[in-house]
A and B are shown apart, each in its own frame.
Chain A
Amino acid sequence: MILVEDKDIVVPGEILAEGEYYAGRGTFKDDSKICSALVGLVAIRDDKISVLPLQSKYIPKRGDVVIGKITEVRFSMWNVDINSPYSGILPASDVFGREKRDMNKAFNVGDILFMRVVDVDEVKKVKLGLKGRGLGKFRGGILVEITPTKVPRLIGKKGSMINMIKDHTKCEVVVGQNGLVWVKGKPEMERVVEKVIKTIETEAHTSGLTDRIRVMLNQLLDIEEDVNKEEEEDYKEELIQ
């Protein structure tokens, strides 16, 4: 017997169902009862009940692509902050291969990198790697932080949301599974993208979001264009005078 409906907001300890159901993510089983472990939205798929969290920390998983910041340069590896309870390490051998070079010249403290999680062991030591398409160091641009659980929403179905943002603003946008988003483009466009991403984060649990974001993007871009036009006109007037 299911006691809640799809997309209901539940709190930890709330009983979701009783009987022969499968406890999915964000839930746990207590005798025959399935209870929520999180504040989140209920998702019912056949006889599997799960709760999608509204807020969480990023827990590293093998194969994820993440954005991180170098926090320390050590003898043969870099320590990387990946916006998670567990910091990552990037071994020098992964970057240089066999040869030895100056670590500081490759990456220094504060550099932003796009990496793949190569391995996570049982004590949550996170090994990172740079082998793969598009992985490496970012130059310029801004970082935007969102809750990792909202990353799928930002990307959209088959990238619909993220591609729409890219097309409208002509910005490069890279999303890490750990909730960090790197944006590079014209400075005013970067600001538009940041605003849009923050809106997606706060409204992630509502439906029909892609359409609303499209409207918002158009509005924001119109304002930008108006400002640009005004500036141009002012400039022209100055020239005439």
Chain B
Amino acid sequence: MINIITNRDLEVKSEAKGSERPDGRAYNELRPLKIEAGVLERADGSAYLEFGDNKVLAAVYGPREFHIRRFLKPNMAVLRCRYNMAPFSVEDRKRPGPDRRSLEISKLTSEALSPAVFLEKFPRSSIDVFIEVLQAEGGTRCAGITAASVALADAGIPMRDMVVACAAGKANGQIVMDLSEWEDKEGEADVPVAIMPRTGEITLLQMDGQLTKDEFEQALDLAKEGCMKISVEQKKAIKNRYGGD
């Protein structure tokens, strides 16, 4: 059963802080987060993630035999990603099927995850990651990467580290962590970042909008801080799957 998380407790807390953000969060506060690993029976690994009003499902198949000759790599596995938004995930119905945006996110997800995976252990094979966005509320690419990384670990694929993603940006003239949909659309800038938390290596860095050099550095630090917080939840999700501590 899926438990629905409410923001009620958080709102009270933030009002005391005198937050300027539309949903009443503090500038360095994440939306409520829930991750569950191993939710799909057929997939080798899977994860379900709720991040604010985002609902994302990730499934991993592989390493498995790869038949497309021209993409095959003789010395390592190929990590393929498909990011897809359900037609009912956004307010106006989204036309189903791949479009320019989902193709871009598919490519960047694969590039964000690849450095973490020991691809060289499985030459001539493919690892397939599927990310389905069931409900979107800003920051789905970060939610997708975070969920996919849990699914990869659940599939038993060897990795150097988990990959975790979080966005930061500027809205209402203030640098804030984890932009909501409104802040993403109406705000001045959006900086999604994916890192490997153990070493702090960055595997994804994008910027949409304009920031000064100082503001950018501030946003980057804030995004990294958010990643660290999410990383704790990620690890908890995997350990919970096996009834760990």
Residues of A within 8 A of B (CB): 9, 11-15, 26, 28, 30, 35, 37-39, 53-57, 59, 85-87, 123-124, 147, 149, 205
Contacts and interface: CB of A to CB of B under 8 A. Distances in A.
21 contacts: A9-B239, A9-B244, A11-B235, A12-B160, A13-B160, A13-B161, A30-B199, A35-B160, A37-B118, A38-B153, A38-B158, A39-B153, A39-B156, A39-B242, A54-B242, A55-B44, A55-B156, A57-B62, A59-B122, A85-B63, A85-B64
B156 to A, nearest CB: 4
Q: How large is the interface on B (under 10, 10 to 19, 20 to 34, 35 or more residues)?
A: 20 to 34
A-B residue pairs, 8 tightest by C-beta: A13-B161, A55-B156, A12-B159, A37-B158, A85-B125, A9-B244, A85-B63, A56-B156
A124 B156 CA distance: 20
B65 A85 contact: yes
Contact of B198 (A9, A35, A56, A147): A35
Contacts of B239: 9, 11
A37 B160 contact: yes
Contact of A13 (B63, B74, B124, B197): B197
Nearest to B149: A12
Interface in B201-245: 234-235, 238-239, 242, 244-245
With most chain A CB atoms within 10 A of its CB, the pick from B118, B159, B244 is: B159
Contacts of A26: 158
A149 to B, nearest CB: 8
A37 B154 CA distance: 12
Contacts of B123: 123-124
A37 B122 CA distance: 14
Given A12-B162, A86-B65, A86-B125, A39 B198 contact: no
Given A35-B198, A85-B65, A13 B154 contact: no
A85 B66 CA distance: 8
A35 B161 CA distance: 9
Nearest to A27: B158
Contacts of A149: 156
Interface of chain A: mostly helix, strand, loop or mixed: loop
Interface in B160-174: 160-162
A211 to B, nearest CB: 20
Nearest to A41: B242
Nearest to A149: B156
B35 interface: no
Contact of A87 (B65, B238, B244): B65
A180 B196 CA distance: 36
A55 B196 contact: no
Contacts of A11: 153, 162, 234-235, 238-239
Interface in B121-169: 122-125, 153-156, 158-162
B65 A9 contact: no
A54 B156 contact: yes
Contacts of A59: 122
A38 B159 CA distance: 6
Contacts of B124: 85-86, 123-124
Contact of A15 (B153, B160, B198): B198
A59 to B, nearest CB: 8
B52 interface: no
B192 interface: no
Contacts of A14: 235
Interface in B90-138: 116, 118, 122-125
Nearest to B241: A39
